[in-house]
Amino acid sequence: MGALYRKKRPATFDAVVGQEHVKEVLRAAIQKDRLAHAYLFSGPRGVGKTTLARILAMAVGCEAGPEARPCGTCAHCRRVREGTHPDVLEIDAASNNSVEDVRELKERILLAPVLAPKKVIILDEAHMMSKSAFNALLKTLEEPPEHVLFVFATTEPERMPATIQSRTQHFRFRRLSDEEIAARLREVAEEEGLAVEEEALRLLARAAEGAMRDALVLLERVLTLDERPVTRAAVERVLGLPPAEAVAGLLDALLAGEVEGALHRAEALFLEGYAPRTLVRELKSALKERLLERPSDALVAAILALDEADERLAKDESRLGLELALLRAHRALARTGAPVPAPQPAEEAPKAEKAPPPPPPPPLEPERQRPAAAGLDRARWRAFLEALPAPLRAVVREARPEAKGEKLVLRFPARLKFHIERARAEQARLAPVAARALGLGEVEVAVDDGEAEPPPEEDEPGPPEPAPAPPPGKKGLLADPRFQRLKEIFGAELVAYEEEPLSDEK
Ligand SMILES: [Zn+2]
């Protein structure tokens, strides 16, 4: 574990980021001296379970008054912090599973505490305990001695035996938000006198995925670069992420409908060593940011397409997979509406209006407003679509709606597998909206096998769009996606190139 993480580990309730629902109850219990005999802390890794277990251990013997416990600084608190307190046992259940370990644990539980009023036994990764260890503990939990407090910490509470769960007070820890993590990182940087760019903090927070511990470990890794101030570019290098400018360039090309340009940029990044999946994810997260600036069905459709591509890439992370991901995103954009213009560079933006209000979402296209089947009125169908959250609307608008008695039937062409799957998964969310907007209490997702009428737009990844001529010369040929695909499929290499003298290439 990183030194910075250890140094910055909170020693008081106030210093712990988030988990208010846990802290509040524990604080009150400490003040009233009414702690339970056993706690179960569950939740993702790195969100403060063991930290709060230690804070509880500090509070048990803290020399400060009830309101201030734990103080984090008295002799008792200090010993717990340093891991030298004789009455506080922190055991990694995963690696202390032998018969002797269990016997030793039982003996230690029976012994009275030496310094503190209570012994505190913290079992990390508690779900990894052996059956015999659980059985041994169960006897203690059934008739808990006054002098013992257990804290089970686990990432998988469902793997804890029900008999143990029912004898503990269970707290579920939650992931921290990016804002919570960034705020704490900012604090740490200030305390340590480190200059860290705001964008670097935000990127670190995002990469930590809700775990404070990961955020601090990552920050420490970036600090070893010895570059001050710490920039976003430095964080990208350490995390192995492509530069944000490169991702933005790729995204702009895609949004402008420049498929070839997007493919060239993606290829350049691929050759620099960035994994296709990383690129797709960064693209997705850049798209999500644009979506916040400017809600649009086209962006939602592109994100859905990339989501799907991300899943495929999990199985086959190839350059072809990356190209297909971009082509699908491009199709989704083209199908859902006109290409979305990229935001104007800051210096070109009119200075007078600082924050122009986002334009209203584009009106639904006429064909889509008109239900293809009878029984539904156009205005109400439209109201229904507009009442849906944008991602769901992008899915549902591809369906042909039909009213059957009390039921709304959403009929999708069989080829829209992803839409069908999403609509089925979201049926529970669709039903109340359908009830309100259409007066239909039930929603059914149906699949059209023989398509009765031609689809509004073709959707299959058919023949590629006519490509604009690649830039001339050998470089142009090498970068041409068609040549790249030949390379992929046949392992072709460029052996000779005759149109221009080769001298300027070598
Ligand atoms: Zn204390």
CA–centroid distance, residue 454 to ligand 1 (Å): 74
CA–centroid distance, residue 65 to ligand 1 (Å): 9
The Cα-based distances of 277 to 33, 282, 311, 317 in angstroms read: 52, 9, 9, 7
- Helix (H) / strand (E) containing 171: strand 169-172
Tokens representing residue 463 in the block: 């023949």
Residues with CB under 5 A from ligand 1 (ion): 62, 64, 70-71, 74, 77
CA–centroid distance, residue 29 to ligand 1 (Å): 16
Cis peptide leading into residue 229 (ω within 30°): yes
The stretches of 272-363 forming alpha helices (DSSP H) are 276-293, 297-315, 319-336
CA–centroid distance, residue 144 to ligand 1 (Å): 25
Taking only Cα atoms into account, the Rg of the chain, rounded to an integer number of angstroms, comes to 30
Give the Cα separation of 481 and 264 in Å (integer). 7
CA–centroid distance, residue 58 to ligand 1 (Å): 6
- Give the per-residue pLDDT at 504: 41
For Cα atoms 249, 252, 254, give the angle at the middle one, nearest 5 degrees.
Answer: 110
CA–centroid distance, residue 38 to ligand 1 (Å): 21
- Give the per-residue pLDDT at 490: 52
End-to-end Cα, the chain, rounded Å: 49
- Give the per-residue pLDDT at 36: 95
Burial label for 222, CB within 10 Å (0-12, 13-18, 19+), is buried
- Helix (H) / strand (E) containing 121: strand 119-124
Residue holding tokens 């299959």?
Answer: 460
The stretches of 63-171 forming alpha helices (DSSP H) are 75-82, 99-110, 131-142, 162-165
CA–centroid distance, residue 68 to ligand 1 (Å): 8
DSSP string of 45-83? TTSSHHHHHHHHHHHHH-SS-GGG---S-SHHHHHHHHT
Q: Which domains does the chain show, CATH number per domain?
A: 3-172 (3.40.50.300), 178-239 (1.10.8.60), 244-336 (1.20.272), 369-448 (3.30.300.180), 473-505 (no CATH)
CA–centroid distance, residue 73 to ligand 1 (Å): 5
- Helix (H) / strand (E) containing 254: helix 244-255
CA–centroid distance, residue 503 to ligand 1 (Å): 76
CA–centroid distance, residue 27 to ligand 1 (Å): 14
Residues 6+ apart with CB under 8 A from 248: 286
27: three-class secondary structure by DSSP:
helix
CA–centroid distance, residue 54 to ligand 1 (Å): 12
3-state secondary structure 407-469: EEEEEEECCCHHHHHHHHHCHHHHHHHHHHHHCCCEEEEEEECCCCCCCCCCCCCCCCCCCCC
CA–centroid distance, residue 80 to ligand 1 (Å): 9
User: Per-block average pLDDT, block size 10, for the chain (506 residues)?
Assistant: 86 95 96 95 96 97 94 96 94 84 85 94 93 84 90 95 93 96 96 94 95 95 90 94 95 94 95 94 93 89 93 90 95 75 44 44 42 62 80 81 85 81 84 82 83 47 44 59 58 52 40
Residues 6+ apart with CB under 8 A from 386: 364, 393
State pTM to two decimals.
0.63
CA–centroid distance, residue 89 to ligand 1 (Å): 18
The Cα-based distances of 66 to 27, 31, 51, 70, 71 in angstroms read: 9, 5, 20, 8, 10
**Residue-wise over 463-492: b if at least 16 C-beta within 10 A, else e?**
eeeeeeebeeeeeeeebbbeebeeeeeeee
CA–centroid distance, residue 463 to ligand 1 (Å): 71
CA–centroid distance, residue 35 to ligand 1 (Å): 17
CA–centroid distance, residue 276 to ligand 1 (Å): 51
Residues 6+ apart with CB under 8 A from 349: none
The HSE-up count of residue 474 (CA atoms within 13 Å, CB side) is 14
Q: Please, are residues 467 and 259 in contact by the beta-carbon 8 Å criterion?
A: yes
